[in-house]
Structure 1
Amino acid sequence: MSIAAETTRAGTPEFPLTAHGKTLPAERVGWLTPTDSAIGLDAIRRRYLDDGYVWLKGLLPRANVIDFRRWVLEHLAMTGLVEPGSDLSLGIASTTAFDRSLADRRLMSLVRSAAYEGFCAQPSLTCFMDDFLQGISYLHKRKIMRFVQPDTPTATPAHYDLVYLRGGTSRLVTAWIPIGDIPTEMGGLVYLEGSHTLGIRMEAEFQAASGDLSPQERISAYNRHMAEGGWISKDLPDMAERFDTRWLAADYEAGDVVLHSPYMIHASTANQDRSRRLRLSTDIRYQNVDDEIDIRWSNHWSLGDML
């Protein structure tokens, strides 16, 4: 049965989730709750406010997402990243070395392309965000696309997004979009259950302690009061224990979109896909166009831009 038809999941992921060399204990892992966009915007907003996220099933046309995945991997294949002769929509990682520097440069080109811009601004998403934000939605120019190989230690440490967007409004919404199917073993985003309230508290504590910082330092994720890179922790099991909660995972499908609060703590886990598929996703930020915009996000994403 497709997970689009399920309302809840029982048990824990079949494949143990790992990040930064540590395995999440089964008792500290749960499932995100999927949401059908047909329940209406009022109900969707309530879930977002109550849970800090809303996982919208099939908001985008699946075929469009798969076609875009194929297009991206076609342009990355020249770096040696993709297994030669394989189906590009599957995105099987090459078993030989690839040119990382060339792949990074190619990725920077792709996020500046008209095709990527069109994918992020497709009508089904733009119209939904206008309604969700109850006004004209503004899509930040700085948009991020990531690929993650299987059997590598790559995983995003735990953080909340406002750390990197303090120069504007806090009324932000992040949209995380899997570009292709991303079951749990491929290491998609995981969310610390109930942590949107925890993020609010952490940010208030930071602001209270930041009186000795200049205005520029106060909005930086790299100031002297923050952990390295703005992260909260790389130790996901410890965080779940410390706050007595769970990391919520999901079997994401092409066409899904997850919206999360700028205070919601999230991370990713390692790509352990046994079929050696590349994990491909994009994360973009929306706000009401009438709210203050963080000017630092008015440029295209570049590696090493310190955001």
Structure 2
Amino acid sequence: MSFTIQQPVDATQETDGANRTDYVKLKSTGGPIHESIGSLRSFSKDTPIEDLREAYKKDGYIWVKGLLPVEDVLKCRESYFTYLSDTGLLKNGTSPRDGIYCGADWRMWIGPGKLRRKFGQVQDTAYTRKMIAAHSASWYQEFCDHPDMKNFIERFSGWSNASLLRRSLLRPNIPGGEITQVHYDQIFLRAGPPTSLTTWVPIGDCPMEGGGLLYLENSVSLGQRLEQHFKAAAADLTDEERISAFNKTMMDTGYLEKDAGKFSKLWGRRWLAADYKAGDVVIHNPYMIHCSALNEHPDGVIRLATDLRYFETGTPHDTRWEKVWTVSICI
């Protein structure tokens, strides 16, 4: 194991987050994240809006505790793992709501695409089909349209009407498996201006060891600078190539780096981590640099989360994100 637990994970709610980051060892795809972890700053949903706006402007994110009803979040989690329960993903005899991993080779549970092919896994399986189809399921679409989320976004942003981009990624992060590498969201939304707000929603409790999102401290301006660099480098490409996250100026995955520790050292910034609880939401700027840690939950809990993106109705945005995510599976 690459982390050290000095108390049960269940006790994290009683622990000061700053103290937790002093000894919790996290890991990215590229290796350990050494001595570069700080604590994400949290807010109550009842914090005055002006205070939240000021924090968002300064930090590039706000972590809002208990924004969504816990039971609504856990029902979505239970629905997801019930839907996938006949694929072999879960440990026998465990509750779908708990989402306990079966313990098999994590490469079997990669989503369809390049990485799955890289590891020699069959693309078309019961798991990959259901993983894709879950995005269109009524229980997930109802969760995406949760009125508490929409109402808060409108109150926070000052928009009279917030619209949801229907494309989202419902991500199960398997213990020990591949994770979300270093990036900022605008890389993938280049066909429109940076007008969106991303809400990252953990669907269930997610302690630091469970592979929650890490945010690079004070990184909005860095993300803007990097995007200007990529834009200049892509000047001779076609319009279609320029808006692609996968053009030749980028890594083949669209990400910035797989080694989060290396990236933070290069730019002299800490990664900010948190013990997330069901009902929490993090709202972040489209240029805020982030990634996830490797899921090394000692109880084998699968981290489930989604990204919901909002824009002010009627304003320019990346229209490619208006449709629910799907992918063609090639055997």
Which TM class, normalised by the smaller chain length? over 0.9
| Residue in structure 2 matched with residue 275 of structure 1 by the alignment | 299
The one-letter code sitting in structure 1 at the alignment partner of 2:240 is Q
- CA–CA distance in structure 1, aligned partners of residues 155 and 267 of structure 2: 34
Note if contact 1:37-1:44 (Cα within 8 Å) is conserved in structure 2. Answer: no
Gaps of 5+ in 1: none
Confirm whether residue 59 of structure 1 aligns to residue 71 of structure 2. no
From 137, 140, 144, give the equivalent of 1:120. Answer: 144
The residue that corresponds to 2:165 in the other structure is 140
* Paired amino acid for 1:78: D
Q: CA deviation at 1:262?
A: 0.5
1:262 to 271, 278, 286: 286
1:197-226 Cα offsets, whole Å, 9 max, x none, are 100111122223332122111111111222
User: Hey, what does 2:220 align to over in structure 1?
Assistant: 196
Q: Note if contact 1:159-1:232 (Cα within 8 Å) is conserved in structure 2.
A: yes
- Paired with 1:148 and 1:164, the residues of 2 have a C-alpha distance of 20
- Alignment check: 8 A CA contact 2:204 2:277 kept: yes
Corresponding residue for residue 313 of structure 2: 289
RMSD: 2.1
1:11, 1:30 within 8 Å by CA — same for their partners in 2?
no
Distance in 2, Cα, partners of 1:77 & 1:178: 20
Of the structure 1 ranges 3-12 and 212-221, higher mean CA displacement relative to structure 2 is found in: 3-12
Q: Is the 8 A contact 1:83 1:94 kept in 2?
A: yes
Asked if structure 2 preserves the Cα contact closer than 8 Å seen for 1:4 and 1:57, the reply is no
44-53 or 199-208, larger mean C-alpha shift: 199-208
Q: Measure, in 1, the Cα distance between the counterparts of 2:163 and 2:218.
A: 27
- Which residue of the partner structure matches residue 241 of structure 1? 265
C-alpha contact (below 8 Å) 2:135/2:170 kept by paired residues: yes
Structure 1 counterpart of 2:242, one-letter code: R
Matched, 1:181 2:205: yes
Please list the CA deviations of residues 229-280 of structure 1 after superposition, one character each: whole Å capped at 9, or x if unmatched. 2111111111111111111111000000001110001011111011011111
Residues 1:3 and 1:85: Cα distance change in structure 2 (over 3 Å): closer
After alignment, is 295-304 or 279-288 more displaced?
A: 295-304
The equivalent residue for 2:100 is 92
Describe the SS at the equivalent of 1:228. Answer: coil
TM-score, with structure 2 as normaliser: 0.86
Q: Which amino acid aligns with 1:192?
A: L
| Maintained 8 Å contact 1:175/1:285 | yes
Counterpart check, 1:17 vs 2:41: no
Change (3 A) 1:276 1:7: closer
**Helix, strand or coil: the match of 1:115?**
helix
Alignment of 1:29 onto 2:37: yes
- Higher alpha-carbon deviation: 75-84 or 8-17: 8-17
Against the structure 1 CA distance between its residues 7 and 42, is the aligned structure 2 distance closer, same or farther, given a 3 Å change threshold? farther
**1:42-62 Cα shifts (integer Å, max 9, x gaps):** 111111111011101000001
Change in 2 beyond 3 A, CA 1:4/1:134: farther
User: For residues 314 and 204 of structure 2, what CA distance do their matches in structure 1 show?
Assistant: 33
Secondary structure in structure 1 of the residue aligned to 2:21: coil
8 Å Cα contact 2:196/2:317 also seen in 1 = no
Structure 2 residue 111 is the aligned partner of structure 1 residue 103: no
- Amino acid corresponding to residue 222 of structure 1 in structure 2: F
What displacement does 1:31 show? 0.9
Residues 95, 241 of structure 1: alpha-carbon distance in 2 compared, 3 angstrom cutoff: closer
CA shift digits 1:63-94 (9 cap, x unpaired): 11112111111111110101122122111111
Partners of 1:160 and 1:263 within 8 A in 2: yes
1:284 CA drift (Å): 1.5
| Bigger mean CA offset, 223-232 vs 50-59 | 223-232
> 1:158: how far off?
0.2
Give the match's secondary structure for 2:84: helix
Opposite residue 49 of structure 1, the aligned amino acid is: K
CA distance in 2: counterparts of 1:159 and 1:238, whole angstroms? 14
- 1:86 is matched by which residue type in structure 2? T
Counterpart of 1:254 in 2: which secondary structure? coil
| % identical aligned pairs | 35
Contact in 2 for aligned 1:144/1:283 (Cα 8 Å): yes
Counterpart pick for 2:189 among 165, 179, 202 = 165
Offset, 1:292: 0.9
Output the CA distance in 2 between the equivalents of 1:103 and 1:209: 39
Distance (Å, rounded) in 1 between the aligned partners of 2:41 and 2:82: 33
Secondary structure class of the residue paired with 2:98:
coil
